[in-house]
Structure 1
Amino acid sequence: MPLRTITDVMVILERGGRILLAERKDTGYADGLLNLPSGKVDSEEENVLQAAAREVLEEVGVTVPLAALRIVHVMQYRNPEGEVRTGWFLTATHWEGEPYNAEEEKCAGLSWHQPDRLPDNTVPYNALGISHWIKDEPFSVHGWNEDRNERDV
């Protein structure tokens, strides 16, 4: 069977030493958990930078110029359901506008948190990426063999 990898983008918006997280609501997946503004690359015509900027605008209402996005971590991740995903974690050096809950039908609210003390209800995939970003580790693999150390570089 050919490999089908889902390409995810997760954007770390940092202000005053805190990062922005959104509480998932009525999505059917991880509802009640906190995650970064995020989503998937929607088509072959969209690259990860474009997808990241689009998702941030859709979810938290701010405009991030593509030149302001920096890739800080890439993760190959097999989720508990067995899907293989490639997660691109990006930071934004600046943005236009004030973040707000732009998707009230999918989000219960926004909150700012210290990245080294994430709430217990943070989506594990996001928490892993944030921890690698904090440690300045550009790449990791998670979800294939939990009995031994995964590759974190």
Structure 2
Amino acid sequence: MNAEASLLGGGRAHDDQSLEGTLLRELSEVVPDLRIEDVKPYAVEAATSIDGLNVAVRVFAGRWRGNPDRLALHEGVLLRWFPPDELDRLRLGPATRDLIRRHAAENPPGDRSAAAPPVWDGGSRVVLNGIGVHLHLEDAEGRVLLGLRHPDSKYAGDTWHYLAGRCEQESALACLVREAWEEAGLVIDPADAELAHVVHVVDAPGSLPLMQLVFRARRWEGTPEVREPDKCLTWQWWPRHELPDRIVSYTSTAITAISEGRPYSQMGW
């Protein structure tokens, strides 16, 4: 059974001097090393208690610059960052999902005052790079499989891209296998996949650097099908020298580099 996701928090104790004090106490008990910045009241939400009573829940918003893997979690299973457009993949209450999306809509990434800070390694100035995993498939004619991203996609809408995803609490190969099945119904044996290229990307000044790993699968089972229509509209095989005009730039770079036998490239530095 999958664990249910939720926001950090808890109930007020008799010794708490304020609701903010309750929040800070709960955080110190659940994740002692978590230090939240700019904690401010955000909303009051209605909830139902285990006794069936309607109760008001004060929701706070704050900022944190850390890596959840480095925190000692005293309650729960694990902590992870999730972008709002991936919330449907979690077992999350509808009210909590709506709350998070409302906050994200009110604080878009373009708003410098509200944008999430870069992720740092503890208190040092070492930037933790994000890891992306991509699938490079070629058919018998040497054509490459690409997907047309939904126009409303948060990243690269209405643009052709590899089958791809971000690593969660898993290995890169496990992520590749999972994404191939979830996005396109393809079954890949990890033993049939090999690292073909790495692109080190900075999409925009000040953004988190991404290490994009491109794996080539020599064999697979299944025919590409659209399984996540909110992300991908169609799959299509493209000749390597006749790629679409609207293609993610580092995808095009990786395809060219793989055809030339180059293992590494970088963009945006």
TM-score (norm 2): 0.51
Q: Does 1:52 align with 2:176?
A: yes
Structure 1's unaligned 5+ residue stretches are: 145-153
Determine whether 1:29 maps to 2:165. no
- The aligned residue for residue 105 of structure 1 is 230
Find the residue that maps to 1:115 and give its secondary structure.
Answer: coil
Match of 1:9 in 2: 133
CA contact (8 A) 1:116 1:134 kept: no
Higher strand share: 1
Separation in structure 2 between the aligned mates of residue 111 and residue 97 of structure 1, nearest angstrom = 14
Render the CA deviation track for 1:15-67: whole Å, top value 9, x for unaligned.
Answer: 02111111111322211000010011112xx1111111111111111100000
Looking at secondary structure, tell me which structure has more helix per residue. Answer: 2
Residue 19 of structure 2 corresponds to none
**Could you list the per-position Cα deviations for residues 84-113 of structure 1 after superposition, in whole angstroms to 9, with x for gaps in the alignment?**
000111111111111111111211111110
Distance 1:116 1:83, change over 3 A: farther
Contact 1:8–1:39, Cα closer than 8 Å, also in 2: yes
1:42 correspondence with 2:168: yes
Highest CA radius of gyration, 1 or 2? 2
CA–CA separation in structure 1 for the residues paired with 2:259 and 2:149: 23
Does the 8 Å CA contact 2:199/2:250 hold for their aligned counterparts? no
> For 1:95 and 1:136, how far apart are their aligned partners in 2?
22
Alignment of 1:136-147 (within 5 A): 136-144=261-269
Identity among equivalent positions (%) equals 29
1:114 Cα deviation after fit: 0.8
Query: What is the rounded CA distance, in whole Å, between the counterparts of 2:126 and 2:266 in structure 1?
Result: 20
Aligned to 1:83: 208
Does 1:18 pair with 2:143? yes
State the structure with bigger RCO (CA 8 A, min sep 6), 1 or 2.
1
Q: Deviations over 1:117-137 (max 9, x none)?
A: 211101112111111111110
Give every structure 1 segment of 4 or more consecutive aligned residues whose post-TM-superposition deviation is greater than 6 Å.
Answer: none
Superposition TM-score, scaled by structure 1 size: 0.88
User: For the aligned residues, what is the CA RMSD?
Assistant: 1.2
Query: Structure 2 counterpart of 1:22, which letter?
Result: G
TM-fit CA distance, 1:80: 2.4
The CA distance in 2 between the partners of 1:114 and 1:83, in whole Å, is: 32
Paired residue secondary structure (1:11): strand
